[in-house]
Structure 1
């Protein structure tokens, strides 16, 4: 440290900036970056927008324009914004640096609606973008454009089109992601397979790609010319140009700065110091974009390189040369992985032993094919080999996911646990510098860090309370119950307004809480908004959270879609049961009893399964969509059993035909939970239903207003 004054200075300054930005968190985004549109704009209102294009993208079905120096005019306000995104479904000729006038509807990016869900609003806020506009009309008011910007854009398009033409749509888009950072068109299922198996890093331009390209080029030119200066100069020019072409993400910026340090050392004949290079890169990254510290990408990029320059030297003399570098990177990443993604891909170390060496092959061949793909004698062998490697990647990733224990789901890591983990790693590295430990001691310590970090960082232990989470699923229903002993029960899980509900809302929350399986899943009836996410989870197989037992109401109409769901579940090895009125189960002191239906009803809603949960002195009633005839029968059952309740999950999203006066007089809930989608087409919850609840001074909570609603019930 004392012999590295530049590194010491950078570390101190970085620590100060980290403290200010990270501890300030959203305060910086909300107050230091003021946004008039966030404060005064209205979602879905018609606005007029003017601004200058600084970037653009073309997808299959739309164009996307990024504007700066934006003015937004609504009926009541004139607002100025730094940046805005415009989505256009029309075919419009727009170039970078054009000035546009746009008429369209204003939209805001959505916050995370459930624990563990992706916060799109926060993601764009870090980029200084607080809203978007769906364009109805676009006019170019100033045709002046940037020849350089358009040239770069045209080059990316040409290379991308060449790769797709040579490799086909599926593999071509993968290589576009690897070489050009264009991931929007990669098949979502394939992308998820890569990510869950632990090789998702290959789909993004990363420091690894930059290092491969830069050092390979530098080495080739040096051998050809015999000159460090020529090789370094040409390498730097190429790498800066390539980085400008694909954009300076955190990892690219880090790798570029470190490459400049390395080449500079080679040219001047000085020793390359990786510690100083990474410290300077980290400080420059934060100075350019302080909000990079609020995203996972920064930590994943820098922790990975620290694993190689700090931890790997400790064990580099142990005769396991193939596995140790990957293990050191994995150990250093474990805290960030658990905190950001709630799970660790167990076999990724072994998978990357083959993936990473072959990556240099497809990067080189992809660049050659993208640039010279039109020349058949060059393009065909490049595309053939690249296609075979990508096929191997996909097969290995898919097969790995089906190996038992492929995904270690630990839940969101506690910050204190992560800090302790990294402190212990730092002590181990420091102790190695002070004392010469034997190889077997270092190997045991490394194995302990890998094992402990994989299985225990973020481990969620069950507490003594009952936890109930009413998901925000949009227009639909879904409730998670976690018993004091750690059993997990899902009651419904469907939506008509949220696509891929399981992938984007249900599963992330389950993983956030460290839930590895669902012990019981109840389906109240055969409406899509109560079972679509459950069906999706079954179809997603190894990519989802496994379901052990699926429970249906005892009486199901012949034309109900529940029959199809049951057949799908049984085909996938899930036990299916049917619950009669008066029957139920008790788990860890939590009693669940079926109160309805007692017979077959023609109306699907009337036939909804109704469950009474009792724990200690508290009770919760889950009503599905029961109404009409069904609700009358339910009210009668409550009277006969002399049941009143504490919490009511309001039936049918608060529709007019449910939650009648007679039912409320008997149930007498203190709290009513309404699961309902924002601005839904059905007018739920109905004002008459809300009035009936308010007249009885029943507290009302709604998922469209609050997002997920979490109740914790103590046993006493």
Structure 2
């Protein structure tokens, strides 16, 4: 049953001692996406579910991250778009952990076998729970956080967010990208605000739609934490948006042989104000010059244990990134 967003209210997941920190787990799903956000009061938002198959590998890694965060259910599962590396794991995930509400952009319009199959499987699972279709400007109701929908179904917010709207000087010099008719361009993109911390996740949004958000004016403003779009591929991560967002830290959810394109890597790494780039994988198809130092990489071997990166954030905007492979962590003060 599809419901309006305002009706989709859920209790917090059961947790132990309540914390004042926000937890964000960037789960390794081998080149897909699975980003788990757990609030201080215990509510949880999972953005995408990784791949199907592999003996339930991705679902298992997500459930392990939820347990590490103290969550025994996932309140919201947001599917950015209906490509297999983002929606494929939903059936296996639903068999392993209770899910409150599914959130997505509506229908799959991509006429290819895989998206059709994956969308049908998703609808079957979502029909057993609650489902919400969002549009730009909507908010996902969560305690402790503001979760604003920036893009959905090929549309984007029409007015600047509070404090945003400044002209973007790069728009005139950067060429306008070609249109994209795939599900990537229909990705649900969100801005998550926790106190003074701003974190953006645009799914696999491609360059034309990225440009719409920041040209001629930057409708978003700047962010502290940027999940590189589309796994760090060249089809996304246009300089006009990366520089406009001006992130302090970027996380790249690439796989060993997916994402981390050298050109996109350079755009992100050289963006003004960036302190560090972290990667879920060493990009095997790139070179050493286009990978960060190994201490900032969660998985350095192709055959890996699926280590995650974790952000722990405070309301004052300070946050710490932890590499679960080597326990290296670094704190970024506001």
TM-score between both structures, scaled by the size of structure 1: 0.33
Partner SS state of residue 277, structure 2: strand
Alignment of 1:454-465 (within 5 A): 460-465=16-21
Per the alignment, residue 72 of structure 2 pairs with 516
Query: Post-superposition shift, 1:499?
Result: 4.7
Sort the Cα spacing of 1:694 and 1:558 in 2 relative to 1 into closer, same or farther, 3 A. closer
**Corresponding residue for residue 315 of structure 2:** 715
Find the residue that maps to 2:25 and give its secondary structure.
strand
SS where residue 221 of structure 2 aligns? Answer: coil
Is the Cα–Cα contact under 8 Å of residues 474 and 497 in structure 1 kept in the other structure?
no
Q: 1:583 aligns with which of 138, 162, 169?
A: 138
Mark the CA change 1:580 to 1:565 in structure 2 (over 3 Å): closer, same or farther.
farther
1:689 shift after superposition: 1.1
Counterparts of 1:517 and 1:703, CA distance in 2: 24
2:103 corresponds, among 540, 548, 551, to 551
Q: Distance in 2 between matches of 1:521 and 1:659?
A: 24
Determine the C-alpha separation between the residues in 1 that align with 2:123 and 2:240. Answer: 38
Quote the Cα distance in structure 2 between the aligned partners of 1:498 and 1:623. 26
Within the alignment, does 1:619 sit opposite 2:198 as a pair? Answer: yes
Shift of 1:528: 0.8
Structure 1 counterpart of 2:279, from 702, 705, 710? 702
Q: CA RMSD in A?
A: 2.4
Matches within 5 A, 1:325-404: none
Equivalent residues in 2 for 1:477-516, closer than 5 Å: 477-495=33-51, 499-516=55-72
Match of 1:674 in 2: 252
How far off is 1:635 after superposition? 2.8
Q: Shift of residue 502 of structure 1?
A: 4.1
| 2:208 counterpart residue number | 629
Describe the superposition over 1:81-110 as per-residue Cα deviations: whole angstroms up to 9, x where unpaired.
xxxxxxxxxxxxxxxxxxxxxxxxxxxxxx
Query: d(CA) in 2 for partners of 1:507 and 1:499?
Result: 14
- In 2, the alpha carbon distance for the partners of 1:497 and 1:649 equals 25
Judging by fraction of residues, say which structure has more helix: 1
Inter-CA distance 554–593: structure 2 relative to 1 (3 Å threshold): farther
Does the 8 Å contact 2:105/2:153 carry over to 1? no
Residue 514 of structure 1 and its aligned partner are, at CA, apart by 3.2
Question: RCO higher in 1 or 2 (8 Å CA, sep ≥ 6)?
Answer: 2
| Cα distance change of structure 1 residues 523 and 622 upon mapping to structure 2, 3 Å threshold | same
In the alignment, the residues of structure 1 paired with residue 21 and residue 130 of structure 2 have an alpha-carbon distance, to the nearest angstrom, of: 28
Runs of 5+ consecutive residues of structure 2 not aligned to the other structure: 1-12, 156-179, 282-296, 299-306, 317-334
Task: Summarize deviations over 1:20-39 as a string: whole Å, max 9, x none.
Answer: xxxxxxxxxxxxxxxxxxxx
The offset of 1:658, in angstroms, is 1.1
- Please state if 1:606 is matched with 2:185: yes
- 2:123 is aligned to 567
Deviation per CA, 1:580-631, whole angstroms, max 9, x where unpaired? Answer: 0011134222000110136477311111110100111110001111113222
Aligned with 2:89: secondary structure?
Answer: helix
1:74-93 maps to which residues of 2 (within 5 A)? none
* Matched position secondary structure for 2:87: helix
SS in 1 for 2:66: helix
Change in CA separation of 1:692 and 1:546 when aligned onto 2, cut-off 3 Å: same
- Kindly tell me the number of residue pairs found equivalent between the two proteins: 251
CA shift for structure 1 position 642: 4.8
In 1, Cα distance between the equivalents of 2:53 and 2:253? 13
- Look up the match of 2:147: 592
The equivalent of 1:527 in structure 2 is 83
Closer/same/farther in 2, CA of residues 503 and 670 from structure 1, 3 Å limit:
closer
Please give the secondary structure, in 1, of the residue aligned with 2:243: helix
The 8 Å contact of residues 551 and 576 in structure 1, kept in 2 or not, is answered as: yes
Q: Which residue of 2 aligns with 1:661?
A: 239
Q: CA deviation at 1:672?
A: 0.8
Q: As a proportion of its length, which structure holds more strand?
A: 2
